[in-house]
Amino acid sequence: MTLRIADSALQEQLWKIYEQSFAGKEVECAQNQKCYDRDGFLAALTDRDYVKYYLVSDGLVAAYMLSTNNLAKASVTYMNPERYAGLFPDFAPDRIYYCTSLAVAPGMRSQRHFYNLMSCYLENVLVMRKGMHAFDFSHETIPNLPAVLIKIGKRLADEGKLRAPFIYAKVGAQEFGALIPPKTTE
């Protein structure tokens, strides 16, 4: 975990993973999954309001995550800060940590990397900071993300790192649709 990533080579590695992870999602997902442009992403890497986690394997970044408890900044992901503060007043205003970006590097896609990164993050946020983890995800790309996170929480509880497994609360849903005129033959 770090609060500031100023090393330009590391910044470039993270930006490349971000770009590669979301490449092609334009046609897979109804909602745009890229909430950062290059300048915004690099600014988040040096902004102390964001907690940064990254996992290095064989000298390369294997996975990373950006999270913030500044809900105004988290709204870059199109989340509604007032909704979260209203639903979780015991954690508002500054113990709701919202994940704004999470990616595993192409070629390093392994459950082990994801588990190690998320275990470290969740233990830090839920135990040390006495906070909660909030996120959004695309059903088109990662339909089982809540189940995977619950499984990680159970393992952390089994290892004695959490008092008990956490629970998943669905905060909302948004559906995209279209009305298409019927085909006619003339």
Beta bridge partners of 56: 61
Asked whether residue 75 is domain-assigned, the answer is: yes
Q: Put residue 24 in one of left, alpha, beta given phi > 0 → left and psi -120 to 50 → alpha.
A: left
What total number of domains does the chain contain?
A: 1
Q: What is the CATH number of the domain that holds 18?
A: 3.40.630.30
Locus of tokens 């996992």: 55
In a domain? residue 163: no
Q: Which of residues 52 and 112 earns the better pLDDT score?
A: 52
Query: In the prediction, which pLDDT does 143 show?
Result: 86
In a domain, 164, yes or no: no
Mean pLDDT of 48-63: 91
Confidence of residue 101 (pLDDT cuts 50, 70, 90): very high
Kindly state whether residue 114 falls inside one of the protein's structural domains. yes
pLDDT (mean) for 68-93: 95
∠27-14-59 over CA atoms, to 5°? 125
54 inside domain? yes
Supply the pLDDT for residue 142: 81
Question: What residues make up the domain containing 61?
Answer: 8-158
**Would you say residue 184 lies in a domain?**
no
pLDDT tens digit sequence for 129-153? 999 999 998 888 788 999 999 999 9
Between the CA of residue 29 and those of 45, 75, 87, 140, what are the distances in Å? 25, 19, 27, 6
Residue 181 lies in a domain: no
Give the pLDDT confidence score for residue 32 in this predicted structure. 60
Q: What average pLDDT does the chain have?
A: 89
Would 56 be classed as within a structural domain? yes
